[in-house]
Amino acid sequence: MTLEILTSDALGAVKHGFFTRKGGASSGVFAGLNCGQGSSDQAEIVAINRARVADAMGVAPDALIGVHQIHSATAVAVDAPQTEKPRADGIVTATPGIALSVLTADCQPVLFSDPHAGVIGAAHAGWRGALDGILQSTVAAMVDLGASAQNITAVIGPTISQRAYEVGPEFLDTFLNEDPEFARFFANGDGDRLMFDLPGFGLNRLHAAGVGHAEWTRHCSFSDPDRFYSYRRTTHAKEADYGRMIAAITL
């Protein structure tokens, strides 16, 4: 099956893609393009999937670079394939020939580009990382490489939408303790439940970081099981594990 690669016109000619689960070699609960090396899927099958992504991005398999994601506010710069993944959630480069990547299954995959400076970035932004500042950190790391914040375009790919993201009052309190204005990213649900707008919050944090343009592709990972993996959907279904989607960008 052919790979399905979602792109954004806002990122212009910079080669990038938010890959769906279509076109992969995995089976069972992972059926499709599972690129998660931390999943319990067969390692050799995940390697095949990742090689297909690398080929689509026009780079060698070892030049498809990611990070060991830890829901942090840490962003790192790279200029060559890594022997060991750095523990971080943002990754930036000004080096052609390598593709930056992040893995998600409801969290926000965010791709960044300053075409004028020739600097790109990628970030994994769940609620914790977004609240702690991973998007601002990724922009700052790009600026350190010569980018200008106002020239950066940032695009959020498939992520869980507000209509599918139910949380409790203690979750709301965590945000209000940071800034009472964050209440606007929550809507009332059933009983004491609330619905959290993760991509709306991500866009807010990107604008706070000073990027020139930010948008969301408006794909909900939870609501479309044929195209996207979802940690929350897997949890509701009481499945043993879940696949991870990959988003990538290269100069």
Domain ranges of the chain: 5-161+197-246
pLDDT > 90 fraction of the chain, expressed in percent and rounded? 96
The pLDDT of residue 83:
87
12, 2 contact by CB (below 8 A): no
134-164 tens-digit pLDDT: 999 999 999 999 999 999 999 999 999 999 9
Buried b (16+ CB within 10 A) or exposed e, 60-78: eeebbbbbebebbbbbbbb
* Average pLDDT over all residues of the chain: 97
DSSP string, 6-23: E--GGGTTSEEEEE-STT
Tokens standing for residue 66 = 């990611």
The pLDDT of residue 46:
97
* 229 vs 219: CA distance, rounded Å: 12
- Torsion angle (degrees, nearest 10) of CA 8, 121, 215, 183: 150
pTM of the model: 0.97
Tell me if the domain spanning 5-161+197-246 has CATH number 3.60.140.10. yes
The three-class DSSP label of residue 166 is strand
185-215 tens-digit pLDDT: 999 999 999 999 999 999 999 999 999 999 9
Could you list the pLDDT tens digit for every one of the 251 residues in the chain?
799 999 999 998 899 999 999 999 999 999 999 999 989 999 999 999 999 999 999 999 999 999 999 999 999 999 999 889 999 999 999 999 999 999 999 999 999 999 999 999 999 999 999 999 999 999 999 999 999 999 999 999 999 999 999 999 999 999 999 999 999 999 999 999 999 999 999 999 999 999 999 999 999 999 999 999 999 999 988 888 999 999 999 99
